[in-house]
Amino acid sequence: MDQTLTNDADILIVGGGLSGAMLAAQLMRLPGQRRVLVIEPRAELGRGEAYSAVELGHTLNGNAARMSVDPDNADDLTQWLTEYIAAGGWPESDQQHVPISELFPPRGIFGLYARQRLAEAQAVGALNGSTVEHVQAEVVDLQANAGAVQLTLSDDRCLQGAFAVLATGMFPAARTPQTQSSGLNAAALDPWDVAAMQRLDPQATVMIIGSGLTMVDAVVSLEQAGHRGPIEVFSRHGLLPHVRRQPPAWVDFLAQDQSIRTPRQLMRELRRHCQEAIAQGIDWQAPLDTVRAHIGRLWHQATDRQRQQFVRHVRPWWESHHHRSPPLSAELVERLYKEGRLRIHAASFKGLEPSTGDGVSIRLRRRGEAQTCVVSGAALINSSGIEYDWRRVARPLPRQLLDRGLVRPGPLALGIAAEVDGAVVNAEGQPARRLFAMGPPLRGMWWESTAVTDVASQAKALAERLVR
């Protein structure tokens, strides 16, 4: 790289979804003058995959009090929603019959909130001469040396900056090309594509792979599309997300007892507190919700063996109990289940099968059975969640970074490896001086590195680190 080139920016942010937008906002609020470029192929910053949804039925799975993008003000979203609703926005909010802090906003409206907070931060930054600019393109390659970072874009432009941050967000399995593709995405409907579902026979059988929150979204999409036929859901453990409730406060037992360090100790103590809560007539979700603030510390200090034990033995139950469904969506799933229209099967997806008609056939192995079987339906939806293993993501930038050793997989191949301050670690184990990461790419470092509050805290800390 020619180090005599003039930098286009002080900081280049790769990805302009929620992570990239929150980092840009934090950079604008800090004293000093800087130029920030956010490279994002979508037309709007702050939305990304998660908050580009347009259907009102696709809501956050956390209530407003839990989803602030301001790490210093937990009530920020509640305050914004109060003003937004008072001005005539989201008139359907009264259907939830709860205080505004307990509302579960549509993800599209949350994206509007994130964009507005970024715009306000840009206005603050402008007073110091700082700017955020949106470069609408995809980053396909990255090079770094001691003096700068250079990005190659999908339109053949090159950008150079003093620092670069990988804020690439999540790679939904339903929308992400895979390096070892089973062909599932080519044969499956997008879980959020209501228009495509409207073209189905309303009485047709629809099969869904995966039973987590993406499945809940898919069921909402089918309902909004007018589908009234059977829905067959297949997942390895056959577990559904619990409904998210608003439990009372519970003692922060992890803060009181620092000796709890391993997954086994955590599960034993958590189970004891949940049983104690139930015995007192208190929602078991109360003790579980206190764990949230400690997950990053517990995961980061665990050994690889302990992490493997958690993923292998605890993860399915952790996901279904901790990543809970918004109430209205959960009510729909429960109603369809009681009606017999939605059925849950514990079975592993083994691949597509040739279909003789217009439908889709898949091969499964049901739990407890040695032999596989073939089931068919009119349509198939891939709701298998997020792809965190960058080695399986067939996008130009992850492939280039891994192939050239600029990054290496994170613990358990979840995301990429990095230092505590976000500095990316290369294949030789050396931390980069000018390349950082935040949000979902750091899943392997902190486990819960995708939640809004976690990403907001990371954005603030990283912005301060970059400015220093």
Quote the tokens at residue 303.
């050994």
Closest C-alpha among 237, 301, 241 to residue 266 = 301
Quote the tokens at residue 8.
């286009």
- Measured between alpha carbons, how far is 14 from 45 in angstroms, rounded to an integer? 12
Domain parsing of the chain, residue ranges? 9-171+388-467, 184-242+324-382, 253-322
Phi-psi region of 351 (alpha: psi -120 to 50; beta: other; left: phi over 0): left
CATH number for the segment(s) 184-242+324-382: 3.50.50.60
- Measured between alpha carbons, how far is 234 from 214 in angstroms, rounded to an integer? 13
Which residues have C-beta within 8 Å of that of residue 243, sequence separation ≥ 6? 324, 325, 326, 327, 330, 331, 334
Domain 184-242+324-382 in the same topology as domain 9-171+388-467:
yes
Quote the tokens at residue 16.
């302009």
Quote the tokens at residue 204.
């047709």
Instruction: Please state the pTM of the whole predicted model.
Output: 0.94
Local confidence pLDDT in tens for the 468 residues of the chain:
444 456 899 999 999 999 999 999 999 999 999 999 999 999 999 999 889 988 899 999 999 999 999 999 999 999 999 999 999 999 999 988 899 999 999 999 999 999 999 999 999 999 999 999 999 999 999 999 889 999 999 999 999 999 999 999 999 998 888 877 778 888 999 999 999 999 999 999 999 999 999 999 999 999 999 999 999 999 999 999 999 999 999 999 999 988 888 888 999 999 999 999 999 999 999 999 999 889 988 998 889 999 998 998 889 999 999 999 999 999 999 999 999 999 999 999 999 998 777 899 999 999 999 999 999 999 999 999 999 999 999 999 999 999 999 999 999 999 999 999 999 999 999 999 999 999 999 999 998 888 899 999 999 999 999 998
- Measured between alpha carbons, how far is 332 from 259 in angstroms, rounded to an integer? 42
Q: CATH fold of 9-171+388-467, please?
A: FAD/NAD(P)-binding domain (3.50.50)
